[in-house]
Structure 1
């Protein structure tokens, strides 16, 4: 299992000390660093900056939002990033949710699976540069059909040649169909709330997608599962869990409308529907402190690594047995130093 860092998206501004942390991770031998975007900072620009300060660490978006850019614009950014980084870029894509897609980008959210499939195909066509890019749509038609625009559009091929025509594309997914789609059309899956307890279920969903995978895609054995895992090292478990509760409360209560919150759905499937009801009710009523307090410690321990180093080392054994290939640390920079020797150590037994 490899080790990565997930820096997330900015709140009011850039996180303090993040560049130094990325440079230190590069020197430590950490596999990858990942960024996100919501409706503030973008996912590509920080990676370009950090890439200029590092030499070996892979640079990934987790995720770049599909509705933020046309597929050709995303492919252009990926081509550019891959050249500038010397082949270190990984394109992670996600559909986000209707609140952001329709409220921030002014784009329709309907048919997210079909949109994702079409989007990825256009991106791959740009990256391959085998022919001028065309798409019959219906979501991203290229060129624009007659009667919609001026009628002067024509198929184009990227002026930039790819450094890697097979640049890896990963998909964020939480629902069962989305997870299977990632295994079918992508080179990796970016889960947010992975739990070792659900590993058998996740493996079944991945197997469903692998069964439909084109032989032209990278082999199943090369498929990556890069799970974002909050890691907080403290002497006492409850003290560590308290650092994660607000994050879980935000995603359960505030990252999606009631009845259309895919993050909450993922935690429901873990068996926390009743707790999620309470968390969401508090959060939507503006009681964020009570929402965080309602997050059970068991929920935190299911999706995070919290407590003293010896407990984290013990809990890590279960993660080693999962389909996860890279553990993306979310949290304090010191957590990377705690996990690095643990992951480097041979598996017991």
Structure 2
């Protein structure tokens, strides 16, 4: 299992100290650094700026939202990044959710799996420097109608790699199976090494499909794992609880929340219902307080150094090939020591 540094997306402004953290991660032997986007900072610009200061780290997006850019625009960005980094770019993409897709990007959300399949097909055509033409349900190139002057085009730049790695963000079993079938890796948002039977089954289903791109042996699984060092696990978990309350309670509507469903599958359905009710009622602090320690410990490493070292054993034996972690310099140093 390799280590990646996750920088996420910005809050109100660029977080302080990111260049120093990236430099430290490279010095400590981390394999990669990852950026994200929601509906504020984008993923590609900070990654290019920070990545220009590195020489070895893989630079990944976790994730680029598909609705933010047409497949051709994402392909252009990915090929440009691969040139700028000497073949170190990793393209993580995701469908996001209906609130962001329809509310922020003004794009339709239905049929995300079919849309993802078409999107990836077009990306691969562009990466291979083929003449890009596609007649799908969601994407059509050239555009039918308009002036009638559109024509199939080939990228003007010659890609460094004609097969830039594509990782899919996925939470539901059907989407995870799709990742195993058409992508080079999978980015789970919340993953528990002790509750992953349905993920293993979904991945195996995808690998077994005709034309599957990879197998379990050469498939990347890169997941963000919160790490909080502290004398007391429950107190350390307080730094993770607000984030879980946000995703379980507020990142989606009642009855349509993929993050809620992840934790419900782990056996926390009653807790999720309570957290969501509190959050949607505007009682966010109470929602965070309602997140049990056991839920935090499923997806995070919290507590004293010795406990984190013990709990890490389950992660080393899990599906993960890349553990993305954030935090301060001490956290990075500790994880580099423990994973090594």
* TM band (smaller chain): over 0.9
Aligned to 2:110: 110
1: CA distance, partners of 2:55 / 2:314:
32
Give TM-score scaled by structure 2 length. 0.98
> Among 315, 319, 322, which residue is 1:326 paired with?
322
Q: Is the 8 A contact 2:193 2:298 kept in 1?
A: yes
How far did residue 122 of structure 1 move?
Answer: 0.2
| 1:196 has 2:193 as partner | yes
Unaligned runs of 5+ in 2: none
What is aligned with 2:273?
277
Distance 2:103 2:324 in 1: 29
Please list, as runs of the form range in 1=range in 2, the aligned pairs for 1:1-349 lying within 5 A after superposition.
Answer: 1-129=1-129, 131-145=130-144, 148-212=145-209, 214=211, 217-344=213-340
Find the residue that maps to 1:86 and give its secondary structure. coil
Do 1:191 and 1:226's aligned partners in 2 also have CA atoms closer than 8 Å?
A: yes
Does structure 2 conserve the Cα–Cα contact (< 8 Å) formed by 1:185 and 1:213? no
Which SS does the other structure have where 1:300 is aligned? helix
* Distance in 1 between residues matched to 2:196 and 2:239, nearest whole Å: 25
Q: Is the 8 A contact 2:181 2:214 kept in 1?
A: no
Q: What is the deviation of 1:201?
A: 2.4
* TM-score normalised per structure 1: 0.95
* Partner SS, residue 225 of structure 2: strand
SS in 2 for 1:122: helix
- Runs of 4+ that moved beyond 6 A: none
Q: Distance in 1 between matches of 2:210 and 2:338?
A: 34
Unaligned runs of 5+ in 1: 345-349
What is the CA-CA distance between 1:199 and the residue it aligns to? 2.6
Task: Give CA deviations for 1:126-179 in whole Å, capped at 9, x if unaligned.
Answer: 0001x310001111100011xx31111000000011000111000000000000
Structure 1 residue 219, shift from structure 2 partner: 4.7
SS at 1:106 equivalent: coil
Task: Give me the whole-angstrom Cα distance separating, in 1, the residues matched to 2:320 and 2:157.
Answer: 34
Equivalent residues of 1:79, 1:127 under 8 A apart: yes
- Number of residue equivalences: 340
For 2:230 and 2:35, the matched residues in 1 are separated by: 25
